[in-house]
């Protein structure tokens, strides 16, 4: 991740170390110290400050980067809302980790989904390669739409995994991601004075927030367009929604992040010996939530087992709730059943997936339509 960010040539990098994100910013600091990077590296005393530094730098019209995790992300919350509201194209990595209390440093996805309403676009990668690719997409989308983008990678499962990856050369990166050149008058510059994020009264606030809402929601088109361009330049696929398994499967898993790899292995083993074929729908883009694409892929499905690695206390798994909202009224024969798994780094095993499959298989679709467990 650090090497890819270096090749993207941000002008300012600022972060505060927090497990399991620390190694990314340590390498970025080392690149600067070794003279192989030209960005300004600001070592902040807190995540709140780190977010504030990249906010200010981005507002001055330069490419920026930060990274964080868990409690650090939550400490940034006020600034994250400001970054989105000021329409700044900040790119940040979140190494997903559980939140306190009790203290736990292992992976789930509670941290990032907690700030899902801040106005940031949010991507989730299954593998280290996919996360690396998503950073390139993130910069391209952020700078074309003037919206911040958060790339999520599961802590330890991906942040501390060694695997072969293809890091594109600088020429290819430049082809896909040219130098950032914002239009004069759209950032802070004495030559074209303007104010950003100023005080507004009720007469104007509503419209400004509505514009942000509409732009986040409509960003689906731009993301899809830039994904196609990514394939042309780098030869690898990125899709809002990925379908894996039997094309006629009636029982489907739904998940995002690294757990998709485990589910794919379970599906491979299951489909070899069973008549009831399975598939998984992997969500790569959580914000904006790709409602039309999901409605199309679930059109003929009978059962969906949602694997949720985060929960809304007093309600249900967050991913499950999002899917039910998106599909409400579009497939009246669809059972969506919520399974909260993996909190605090609890293993998600093939045996557990087998138990989930058995449980959802014995539920009649006319008994629990749009009800979570």
Alpha-carbon span 54 to 75, nearest angstrom:
15
* For residue 175, pLDDT beyond 90: yes
Kindly tell me if the per-residue pLDDT of 67 is higher than 80. yes
Domains of the chain in start order, with CATH, are: 2-234 (3.40.50.970), 241-361 (3.40.50.920)
pLDDT at 331: 83
**Strands 64-68 and 12-15, bridge-based pairing:** parallel
Q: Please, what is the average pLDDT of the chain?
A: 95
Tell me what pLDDT residue 365 has: 60
Q: Is residue 368's pLDDT more than 50?
A: no
Note whether 303 and 250 are within 8 A (CB). Answer: yes
- pLDDT tens per residue across span 321-344: 999 999 998 888 899 999 999 999
Pair of tokens at residue 321: 């709730």
Binned at pLDDT 50, 70 and 90, residue 373 comes out as: very low
Q: Which residues lie below 8 Å from residue 266, measured CB to CB, with a gap of 6+? A: 278, 350, 353, 354, 357
* Confidence check: pLDDT of 138 > 90: yes
Please determine, for residue 371, whether its predicted confidence score (pLDDT) is greater than 70: no
Instruction: Say if residue 185's pLDDT is above 70.
Output: yes
How high is the pLDDT of residue 207?
Answer: 95
- 19-59 pLDDT, tens digit per residue, is 999 999 999 999 999 999 999 999 999 999 999 999 999 99
The proportion of the chain whose per-residue pLDDT surpasses 70, expressed as a percent, equals 98
Q: Is residue 123 helix, strand or coil?
A: strand
Structure tokens at 250: 């009636």
pLDDT at 364 (0 to 100): 74
Query: How far is Cα 215 from Cα 288, in angstroms, rounded to an integer?
Result: 10
Beta strands in 56-206 (DSSP E): 64-68, 91-96, 121-124, 149-154
210 has pLDDT over 70: yes
Backbone phi, then psi, for 26, in 5-degree steps?
A: -65, -45
Kindly report whether the peptide bond that precedes residue 102 is cis, defined as omega within 30 degrees of 0. Answer: yes
Tokens of 311: 């929960």
Instruction: Look up the pTM and report it.
Output: 0.96
Considering the chain, what percentage of its residues have pLDDT values greater than 90? 94
**Of 173-177, 242-246, 329-333, 363-367, the least confident:** 363-367
Residue 316 — very low, low, confident or very high, per pLDDT cuts 50/70/90?
A: very high
Helices within 177-306 (DSSP H only): 202-234, 259-273, 291-297
* Residue 321: φ, ψ to 5°: -60, -40
- Between residues 340 and 371, the one the model is more confident about: 340
Tell me how far CA of residue 115 lies from CA of 75, 78, 110, 263, 309, in angstroms.
11, 10, 9, 26, 15
* Mean pLDDT lowest among 27-41, 103-117, 180-194: 180-194
Average pLDDT of the residues in 77-91: 98
Edge-to-edge, what's the strand order for the sheet holding 278-283? 241-245, 278-283, 251-255, 303-308, 335-340
Name which residue leads in pLDDT, 261 or 186.
261
Tell how strand 64-68 and strand 91-96 pair up: parallel
pLDDT at residue 366 tops 60: no
Alpha-carbon distances of 23 from 13, 158, 223, 235, 372, rounded to whole Å: 14, 12, 29, 28, 38
3-state secondary structure of 335: strand
pLDDT in tens, 267-294: 999 999 999 999 999 999 999 999 999 9
Specify the pLDDT at position 174.
97
């Amino acid at each position: 991740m650090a090497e890819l960010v270096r090749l993207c040539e941000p002008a300012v990098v600022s972060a505060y170390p927090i497990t399991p994100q620390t190694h990314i910013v340590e390498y970025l600091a080392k690149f600067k110290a070794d003279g192989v990077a030209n960005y300004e590296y600001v070592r902040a005393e807190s995540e709140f400050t780190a977010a504030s530094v990249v906010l200010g730098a981005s507002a001055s019209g330069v490419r920026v980067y930060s990274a964080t995790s868990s409690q650090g992300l939550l400490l940034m919350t006020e600034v994250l809302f400001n970054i989105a509201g000021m329409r700044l194209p900040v790119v940040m990595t979140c190494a997903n980790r559980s939140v306190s209390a009790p203290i736990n440093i292992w992976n789930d996805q509670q941290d990032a989904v907690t700030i899902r309403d801040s106005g940031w676009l949010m991507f989730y990668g299954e593998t280290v390669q996919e996360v690396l690719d998503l950073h390139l997409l993130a910069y391209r989308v952020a700078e074309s739409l003037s919206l911040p983008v958060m790339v999520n990678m599961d802590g330890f499962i991906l942040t501390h995994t060694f695997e072969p990856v293809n890091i594109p050369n600088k020429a290819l990166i430049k082809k896909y991601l040219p130098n950032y050149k914002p239009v004069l008058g759209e950032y802070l510059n004495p030559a074209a004075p303007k104010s950003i994020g100023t005080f507004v009264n009720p007469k104007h606030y509503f419209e400004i927030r509505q514009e942000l809402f509409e732009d986040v929601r409509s960003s689906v088109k731009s993301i899809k367009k830039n994904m196609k361009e990514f394939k042309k330049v780098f030869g690898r696929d990125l899709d809002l929604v990925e379908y894996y398994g039997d094309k006629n499967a009636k029982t489907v898993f739904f998940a995002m992040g690294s757990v998709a790899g485990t589910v794919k292995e379970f599906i491979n083993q299951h489909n070899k010996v069973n008549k009831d074929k399975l598939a998984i729908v992997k969500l790569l883009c959580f914000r904006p939530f790709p409602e039309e694409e999901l409605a199309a892929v679930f059109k003929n499905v009978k059962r969906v087992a949602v694997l949720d690695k985060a929960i809304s206390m007093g309600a249900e798994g967050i991913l499950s709730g999002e899917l039910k909202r998106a599909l409400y009224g579009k497939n009246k024969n669809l059972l969506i059943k919520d399974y909260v798994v993996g909190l605090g780094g609890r293993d998600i095993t093939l045996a557990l997936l087998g138990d989930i499959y058995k449980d959802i298989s014995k539920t009649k679709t006319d008994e629990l339509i749009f009800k979570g467990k």
